Amino acid sequence: MKFLKDTWLMFQRYLMVFLRNPAWVAIGVIQPLLYLVLFAPLLKSLVHLSGFPAGGAYNVFVPGLLIQLGLFGASGVGFGLIAELRAGVIERFRVTPVSRFALLLGRALRDIVTMMVQSLILLLLAIPFGLKPTVVGIIVMLGLVALIGLGMSSLAYAAALALKSEDSYAPLIFTLSLPLLLLSGVLLPLDLAPQWLQDIAKANPLSYAVNAARDLFNGKGFDQAVFEGLAIMAALAVVGVLIGARRFTRAIA
Amino acid sequence: MIETHDLRKTFKSRKGPVDAVAGVDLDVKKGEIFGFLGPNGAGKTTTLRMLSTLLPPTSGEATVAGFDLRREPAKVRYVIGYVSQEGSSAPEVPGRVELVMQGRLYGMSKQHAVARAAELIESLELADCADRPTKTYSGGQKRRLDIGIGLMHLPQLLFLDEPTTGLDPQSRARMWDEVRRLRDTGTTVFLTTHYLEEADALSDRIGIIDHGKIVALGTPDELKRQVAGDVVIVGTDNASDRVLQLLKGQSFVREATSADSLVRLYVDRGETAMPQIIRALDSAGIPLASLSLTRPSLDDVFLRQTGRSLREAA
């Protein structure tokens, strides 16, 4: 009970902190919108290439964009935690009887909610461009985003707690997220890639999420790729939360 | 309220283990202000962090507010408050929100937390800024909010880490009053400081720590008396030799020296020595020009125990 209550308190706190900073809210929406307006049109001329997945440019690109949103959204969350470490807020919480797990989960839930809202906005904005979503597709897609958010945010928090400074956290995040992004097939489908690149991408859990997301919008519906993507993202979430929770329960020296 | 026995913390470093706290024995009584004095890096904050459950001790025993620190840290947390040196509030969050949040983490109902927060905002004079984000606060306001956060759940024991570092003299005086008021309402206060004046003026009892070890423990007066008692300075008109001869033999004088027609008498208790000196000079018919009493400072205590001046060590 205490754990659930503490998680809710933390969730409320961090949602308030997020909403008090309108710049972050705006960036969260504008960034994917820029991709939608400034990048997606390029894909239109590639649609007829052999190997380009069926379903039209937006139905291929937008689902991947949501995965990217999850990845980038989560990778930035550690900055907030580092700022709080410096302000002494985390230490203050540690002296209270607050559930240590709630310190992680409350934040991660906030991240999930903001990502889901951004995703929904993006999906709705993409409809006039030609995205053809189904209700079930949207719901499962949001579930996928939530799992990515939970797993990646937890890992980002664990990294932030371990590194304790922006100077080491930022390079780590940029070094890791770029190959993860490139090897996920978000920007261009990996079907267009040479075999060796496709093989490497298979080691990237996010590539499964991207495949799953695409099939949710190209009319294929619940196929094996969707289940694979959900299962792998669920596993990522479990691993991420375990690592994050372990970090949060350990003392900060 | 706090009892420790041979409390130790050893950190690993590249150059090998470092004993930040090397066997501390403390006994803090209920309802007192205990000042933990020492130069920077002496082990004050490490001890404080261990006692407030933030840092597990490497070895040793400690009981805090009746609970075993190592076996029952969760119970300790309910009855202690901790105010760190670094602050405790998020810049974008208003002070009132921080206070309410803190209360709720201790299991207070929303109404209760809101009422308690209002009470603290009133008593800590934060009404003007309570609903503004804390990044707009002055140093003094911020520190008072930190204290308020530490007091939200009415702890029996409050830890204050360097409560006045970085404050202007006015805010410092105000903080001292606040700490005394806390003690008067029954809260035990454990504070660290590297300011001699602060430890002296504020503490009921003092522990002096250096290189991870307690070098002196007692009330400020006891500690100073340990050093050399008091110094009474007798001024005469060209009669210092006679005064010296006369007073050297008195039983209450430990040591006497003279220079520049002033005689310095080292005595156990200056208050009782002064009338005796006056009587002795009177009956010998030596006119007295001046008489003054000085006390050794805590710096003398530190100097005697460590061979260094605290002002230099800090």
The string of pLDDT tens digits covering residues A194-204 is 889 888 888 88
- A 65-124 residues with CB < 8 A to B: 83-84, 86-89, 91-98
In chain B, residues with a C-beta closer than 8 Å to the C-beta of A97 are: 74, 77-78, 105-107
Give residue B112's domain range: 2-224
Q: Identify whether A48 is part of a domain.
A: no
CB pair distance less than 8 Å for B80 and A9: no
B107 touches chain A (CB under 8 A): yes
Q: Identify whether B70 is part of a domain.
A: yes
Out of A91, A97, A253, name the one closest to residue B78 (CB): A97
B195 touches chain A (CB under 8 A): no
Q: How far apart are CA B283 and CA B285, in angstroms?
A: 5
In chain B, residues with a C-beta closer than 8 Å to the C-beta of A7 are: none
A21 touches chain B (CB under 8 A): yes
DSSP state for residue B71 in the 8-state scheme: T
In chain B, residues with a C-beta closer than 8 Å to the C-beta of A20 are: 92-93, 133
Tokens read off for B19? 């004993």
Indicate whether B165 and B263 sit together in one domain: no
Q: Identify whether B308 is part of a domain.
A: no
CB pair distance less than 8 Å for A92 and B149: yes
Indicate whether B81 and B164 sit together in one domain: yes
Indicate whether B84 and B110 sit together in one domain: yes
Indicate whether B94 and B235 sit together in one domain: no
Shortest distance, CA A211 to any CA of chain B (angstroms): 39
Q: Identify whether B46 is part of a domain.
A: yes
Q: Identify whether B307 is part of a domain.
A: no
The helix or strand, by DSSP H or E, that contains position B292, with its residue range, turns out to be: strand B290-294
Shortest distance, CA A111 to any CA of chain B (angstroms): 18
In chain B, residues with a C-beta closer than 8 Å to the C-beta of A96 are: 77, 102, 105-106
Indicate whether B268 and B133 sit together in one domain: no
Q: Identify whether A67 is part of a domain.
A: yes
Choose the final residue of a domain: B202, B224, B246: B224
**Which pairs count as long-range contacts for B41-46, CB under 8 Å and 24+ apart, including other chains?**
B42/B209, B42/B210, B42/B211, B42/B212, B42/B313, B43/B9, B43/B209, B43/B211, B43/B212, B43/B213, B44/B161, B44/B192, B44/B194, B44/B209, B45/B85, B45/B161, B45/B162, B45/B192, B46/B9, B46/B20, B46/B21, B46/B212
Q: How far apart are CA A233 and CA B138, in angstroms?
A: 46
Indicate whether B33 and B136 sit together in one domain: yes
The residue of chain A nearest to residue B9, with distances taken between CA atoms, is A253
Indicate whether B252 and B134 sit together in one domain: no
The helix or strand, by DSSP H or E, that contains position B249, with its residue range, turns out to be: none
Note down pLDDT in tens along chain B; length 314 residues: 898 898 888 888 888 888 888 888 999 999 999 999 888 888 888 999 999 998 888 988 899 999 998 889 889 999 999 998 888 999 989 999 999 999 999 999 999 999 999 999 998 889 999 999 999 998 889 989 999 999 999 999 999 998 888 888 888 888 888 889 889 999 999 999 888 888 888 999 999 888 888 888 999 888 877 766 778 888 887 777 888 888 887 888 877 777 777 787 878 888 888 888 888 888 888 888 888 888 777 776 776 677 666 766 55
Indicate whether B95 and B152 sit together in one domain: yes
- A 182-221 residues with CB < 8 A to B: none
Bridge-based pairing state of the strands B16-28 and B157-161: unpaired
Helices B110-123 and B95-105 meet at what angle, rounded to 10?
130
- Condensed to tens digits (0 to 9), the pLDDT of residues A108-149 reads 999 999 989 888 888 888 888 888 888 888 999 999 999 999
Q: What is the mean pLDDT of residues A40-44?
A: 78
B54 touches chain A (CB under 8 A): yes
Tokens read off for B277? 């000196």
Domain harbouring B236, CATH code = 3.30.70.980
Choose from A85, A96, A107 for mutation: most chain B CBs within 10 A.
A96
Indicate whether B83 and B140 sit together in one domain: yes
The residue of chain A nearest to residue B110, with distances taken between CA atoms, is A9
Indicate whether B272 and B139 sit together in one domain: no
C-alpha closest to that of A232 among A198, A208, A199? A208
- Residue B193 CB neighbours (<10 A): 23
Q: How far apart are CA A19 and CA A27, in angstroms?
A: 12
Out of A2, A9, A87, name the one closest to residue B90 (CB): A87
Residue A253 has pLDDT above 50, yes or no: no
The total of structural domains in chain B comes to 2
The total of structural domains in chain A comes to 1
Q: Provide the ipTM.
A: 0.83
B92 touches chain A (CB under 8 A): yes
Q: How far apart are CA B51 and CA B2, in angstroms?
A: 8
B79 touches chain A (CB under 8 A): no
The residue of chain B nearest to residue A10, with distances taken between CA atoms, is B101
Tokens read off for A120? 């929904």
Domain harbouring B16, CATH code = 3.40.50.300
Give residue A240's domain range: 2-40+53-249
Indicate whether B178 and B125 sit together in one domain: yes
Q: Identify whether B30 is part of a domain.
A: yes
Indicate whether B130 and B275 sit together in one domain: no
- Residue A27 CB neighbours (<10 A): 13
